[in-house]
Amino acid sequence: MTNTIKKLEVTAEELDLFISALETQSKILQMQASAGGPGANERLNEVKSLLVSVSSHREVSRDPRPAQSGLWNMLRSLREAI
């Protein structure tokens, strides 16, 4: 990998797709490394490093859980009151 830094504009959905692809590639490389594939450990480390770097650019304010509806909040409140 080169150390040249270039800026790239991507949407949040595209960034999520990149992260998903890197996670998949990481799983594949883990299997290859466990089978003794030549160079798989080195490549796995590179992919994991890139995954951490790309993941750090994900919006911090995004909540991975879907927004809870008012009904769900009401039911949770009733459960806590019992």
Interior CA angle at 16 toward 8 and 13, to 5°?
Answer: 75
pLDDT tens digits, one per residue of 20-48: 999 999 999 999 999 988 889 999 999 99
For the chain, the domains span 1-59
pLDDT tens digits, one per residue of 5-24: 888 888 888 999 999 999 99
Phi/psi at 16 (nearest 5 deg)? Answer: -60, -40
pLDDT given at position 1: 55
Give the global pTM.
0.61
pLDDT tens digits, one per residue of 46-68: 999 999 988 887 765 445 555 55
